Structure 1
């Protein structure tokens, strides 16, 4: 561990939050001299203090120990780069259009890998007035259910959160193209190309499109 790098990072993050050394010392329950020594690279925070320091500065412990923050590439907000995260502990659903480090319920979250729909995880899309009516014939028990359905188009994301013992269906306003995503609590994330719906409708002359 490079004490000088760690110190520079602590100082930079402290100033970013408009805190003085005294402010940080009071929050950490240490002396101002201790903060000064850390920032000058004379010493490093004791391991027992790292969790509190991480909480105050808003940076993961491993980044503090590394002494540097590496920014991600510029996020241009491309929906084509959409990533999905779901916490197994509380069910939180999180999305990102760029690289990001996430944690929830003290667990590090990894992006979900989207699979194509299959026989066990099927989807039906019907055109109802100016909406798409989306339904899934799927178990909705507390142990096995669809946790969300989302519609991602060129410039927006619409997410419907679902819960056990309710129907796995919803309506989305019609948009141009896009992709439907849904998440099974046991089998992960699935995707369905809405362009495929249009093609199947054109071939069959139907308003209801179901994959088998």
Structure 2
């Protein structure tokens, strides 16, 4: 089973972070006796002195521009990925990533490049493909063989 990508974005500067390993949750206990409190805490990512936003990938189209990756299995343990999206300066797909099993691969794109790529997934039968639009955030398609 593929793992979900955890992508965070700074709402001020637009900086984007992919968390590779969240580690373990921390149990924090304060006080004594009847005034004791216990909380469970996850790490907080901060940029520009503010908490970063966890991006939840969209999985259905809701605008005239297309953002969802179109994915199909092809021979040789590969998948073909295309995003029918404009690729102009100021509005483009910045990257496409595939998560298959315990592997994550990402291809960075520039406005003059076509948002099309082939990834090797081997024998994996359940694959998640993400596309990140610089204006409309994160999109995800799941494909099963």
Q: TM-score, normalised by structure 2?
A: 0.66
Residues 86-139 of structure 1 deviation map (CA, whole Å, 9 limit, x = unaligned): 457465442344343324566642211111042632432233432111111101
Aligned residue in 2 for 1:187: 136
Aligned residue in 2 for 1:139: 86
Residues 54-81 of structure 1 deviation map (CA, whole Å, 9 limit, x = unaligned): xxxxxxxxxxxxxxxxxxxxxxxx9545
1:153–1:178 contact (8 Å) kept in structure 2: yes
Aligned residue in 1 for 2:127: 178
Q: Looking at CA atoms only, which structure, 1 or 2, has the larger radius of gyration?
A: 1
1:20-31 aligned within 5 A: none
Q: TM-score, normalised by structure 1?
A: 0.48
Higher RCO, Cα 8 Å, sep 6+: 2
Deviates more, 1:104-113 or 1:175-184: 104-113
1:183–1:190 contact (8 Å) kept in structure 2: yes
RMSD of Structure 2 on Structure 1 (CA): 2.7
More strand, by proportion: 2
1:155-170 aligned within 5 A: 155-170=102-117
More helix, by proportion: 1
- Please list every run of 5 or more consecutive structure 1 residues that lacks an aligned counterpart in the other structure: 1-77, 199-212
Aligned residue in 2 for 1:101: 44
Distance 1:186 1:79, change over 3 A: same
Aligned residue in 2 for 1:126: 72
* Residue 85 of structure 1, CA deviation: 2.2
The alignment partner of 2:71 has SS state of strand
